[in-house]
A and B are shown apart, each in its own frame.
Chain A
Amino acid sequence: MRLPKFEHLQPTRLDEAFDLLERHKGEAKLLAGGTDIIVRMKHRMMTPKYLVSLSRIPDLDYIRSDDGALKIGAMARLNDIGDHPVVNKDWAILAQAARSIGSVQSRNRATMAGNICNASPSADSAPSLIALNSQVVLVSKGGERILPVEEFFKGPGETAIKAGEILKEIQVPKMNPKSGGYYLKYSMRGAMDLAIVGVACIVTPNGKAGYCEDVRIVLGAVCPTPLRIREAEEALKNKAVDEAVLEKAARIAMDESCPISDVRSSAEYRKKMVKVMTRRAFNKALSLAKAK
């Protein structure tokens, strides 16, 4: 299938990109890895007159952790994040989420910034980013603002990004060294398929057997946006977690989810799987924390 006609603009500075976005307001789309937008354009679901590529702007392709926090540039590719030794050591859940997206070929092109800007409810990087309390740096001609990733998603395909803004960086705070985190992607064909349910869980045991000082649970693919389930987190904090407590928390997650039926699964099945996968993700995250 041929791409529709468009002008391919390749600015070499961010300033220039802002000017192009302003000049072609409403007719331009940003291009990072292209693995989502090019498919949409081929299907004529999207026909921007201009693509403003970020690939020729220097210093957007980086993964840094100099001051304790992890900083991921807009053009950092998923495979670079997934294979990065420091990310694998200190933010293992994020490396694992990055590797759960698509094929090697896709991950060699696709970016994490693009994955969240595309705002698919099943975006695999989103639940882990939210569980890690990550934020995004949105830059525009007028300056920059920082927004928690949790507030970034507004609906399927909709984000808080405003016209003229570019998501320049994802910032991930240092993870507690005692914490264990796991992203459980439930799909029929592994990374090649979209998630039926995605659950990111981070657990911080406090030394007392069975007790956790912190728990974070974020669901993907079962709501219009990724959803943090604070009530389920509270149900697991600062008490002895046994099967009954975990069952109750998993049920809360199930009740809070509001999935749709589609080709991958019925809404009813998704809801039931939220309960199963929440329990599994918690147990896996806990065992990873204990192994530290």
Chain B
Amino acid sequence: MEKKIVKIKVNGDWHEALVKQNMTLLEFIREELNLTGTKEACDEGECGACTLIMDGRSVNSCLVPIMEANGKEITTIEGLAKGQDLHPLQKAFIENGALQCGFCTPGMIMSSKALLDNNPKPTEAEIKGAIAGNICRCTGYNMIVEAVKMAAEPKS
């Protein structure tokens, strides 16, 4: 199995790398780029901890073979804040205490971001549908839903 070259735009910057073909997008993000905000948990598309945004859509990066991501634009949790200025979703998660251990949080926020990018004023049912593929084992779902609502309608 020879290595292949991929070119992937991550959080605004193009990265070119020689990779093993059996690498996943998740492994590339964490191990080649050292962006460890995207989490590895079930590694089989059930838990959503590895959610990131590829060409505008949320995907489980553990199920994307790296060659399928060639030429694509990726946003990870690290791409949301602008310097010290947090993204409205990040602020809303903090303000609502929408995390306990924090392991599911990057995935939750990326799923929520994909939702709000396409549907800025979602209903509660739409929010729940958008994060149905993200499992929180501390079971703090209510606050997460509240946080997404707040990010969608920030208090003035």
Which chain A residues have a beta carbon within 8 Å of chain B's beta carbons?
1-8, 10, 31, 34-35, 38-39, 42-43, 51, 53, 55, 79, 102-106, 108-109, 190-192
B48 A31 Cβ-Cβ under 8 A: no
Cα-based distance from A104 to B30 in the complex (angstroms): 22
CB of B22 within 8 A of chain A?
yes
Cα-based distance from A108 to B45 in the complex (angstroms): 12
B44-103 residues with Cβ-Cβ distance < 8 A to A are 44-46, 48, 51, 57-60, 63-65, 67-68
20 A-B Cβ contacts within 8 A?
Answer: A1-B43, A6-B22, A8-B21, A8-B65, A8-B67, A8-B68, A10-B67, A35-B45, A38-B24, A102-B45, A104-B115, A105-B51, A105-B58, A106-B45, A106-B60, A108-B58, A109-B59, A109-B60, A109-B64, A192-B46
Cα-based distance from A10 to B6 in the complex (angstroms): 13
Known: A6-B22, A190-B132. A42 touches B44 (CB 8 A): yes
B45 A5 Cβ-Cβ under 8 A: no
Closest residue of chain B to A9, judged by CB?
Answer: B67
A104 B65 Cβ-Cβ under 8 A: no
Nearest 10 interchain pairs by C-beta: A103-B133, A3-B22, A8-B67, A108-B57, A8-B21, A105-B60, A5-B1, A38-B63, A39-B44, A105-B133
Cα-based distance from A263 to B43 in the complex (angstroms): 21
Which residues of chain B come closer than 8 Å to A104, judged between CB atoms?
A: 58, 111, 114-115, 129-130, 132-133
Cα-based distance from A39 to B44 in the complex (angstroms): 6
Known: A42-B43, A105-B48, A109-B63. 7 other contacts (CB 8 A): A2-B27, A3-B24, A10-B67, A38-B24, A39-B44, A43-B44, A53-B68
Cα-based distance from A8 to B45 in the complex (angstroms): 20
Known: A104-B132, A105-B51, A192-B132. A3 touches B44 (CB 8 A): no
Least distance between B80 CB and chain A CB atoms (Å):
17
CB of B4 within 8 A of chain A?
yes
Closest residue of chain A to B55, judged by CB?
Answer: A108
Interface of A is mostly: mixed
Which residues of chain A come closer than 8 Å to B130, judged between CB atoms?
A: 104
Cα-based distance from A239 to B41 in the complex (angstroms): 55
Cα-based distance from A103 to B110 in the complex (angstroms): 14
Closest residue of chain A to B22, judged by CB?
Answer: A3
Closest residue of chain A to B21, judged by CB?
Answer: A8
- Total of A-B residue pairs, C-beta within 8 Å: 89
Known: A8-B67, A191-B132. A105 touches B45 (CB 8 A): yes
A7 B43 Cβ-Cβ under 8 A: no
Q: Which of A8, A35, A105 interacts with B111 by CB under 8 Å?
A: A105
Cα-based distance from A103 to B62 in the complex (angstroms): 14
Which residues of chain B come closer than 8 Å to A6, judged between CB atoms?
A: 1, 21-22
Least distance between B54 CB and chain A CB atoms (Å):
8
Q: Which of A1, A55, A191 interacts with B44 by CB under 8 Å?
A: A1
Which residues of chain B come closer than 8 Å to A79, judged between CB atoms?
A: 57
B68 A34 Cβ-Cβ under 8 A: yes
Which residues of chain A come closer than 8 Å to B67, judged between CB atoms?
A: 8, 10, 53
B45 A39 Cβ-Cβ under 8 A: yes
B63 A39 Cβ-Cβ under 8 A: yes
B2-23 residues with Cβ-Cβ distance < 8 A to A are 4, 20-23
Which residues of chain A come closer than 8 Å to B1, judged between CB atoms?
A: 5-7
Cα-based distance from A8 to B27 in the complex (angstroms): 16
Closest residue of chain B to A38, judged by CB?
Answer: B63
Which residues of chain B come closer than 8 Å to A51, judged between CB atoms?
A: 65
Cα-based distance from A34 to B21 in the complex (angstroms): 14
